[in-house]
Amino acid sequence: MPDFETLPRLRVDKWLWFCRVVKTRSLASSLIRGGGVRLNGERVASPSRAVVADDVLTVTLDRQIKVLKVLDMPERRGPYEEARHMYEDLSPVIPKRDPATRPLPQAVREEGAGRPSKKERRELNRLRDTDL
């Protein structure tokens, strides 16, 4: 069994930034503090939590969930080609929508139904004022 003291480790926020999962390190920190990152199934509370090889990170981004297995520790924030070798993407594949099941077009309101336009409101006000 490997000694965890000798394994290379890196802070979670730095790892996310180095591997180009997020654009800035401060965004990584706020994502972690907001509860958007799990390490081996447990919520990460602090950006200073250490990550080692073979850990699994679950990152909740805007419209997707990424499951990343840590393969190696990057030394710098290099190009994407270099960063993508640091992890294995285990994210579930989301099927593309079938064009036949697209959402229905927005409903069209009949003329005269609903709220009056500004012009119609002024005409109604004129009618009401003359009745007095």
| pLDDT one-digit tens code per residue, 82-121 | 999 999 999 988 877 777 777 777 777 787 778 888 998 8
- SS3 of 56, please? strand
The Cα-based distances of 56 to 13, 71, 72, 80 in angstroms read: 14, 9, 12, 20
Overall average pLDDT of the 46-73 stretch: 93
Domains annotated on the chain, with CATH: 9-93 (3.10.290.10)
Nearest CA among 31, 53, 58 for reference residue 42: 58
Specify the pLDDT at position 108. 76
| pLDDT one-digit tens code per residue, 73-85 | 999 999 999 999 9
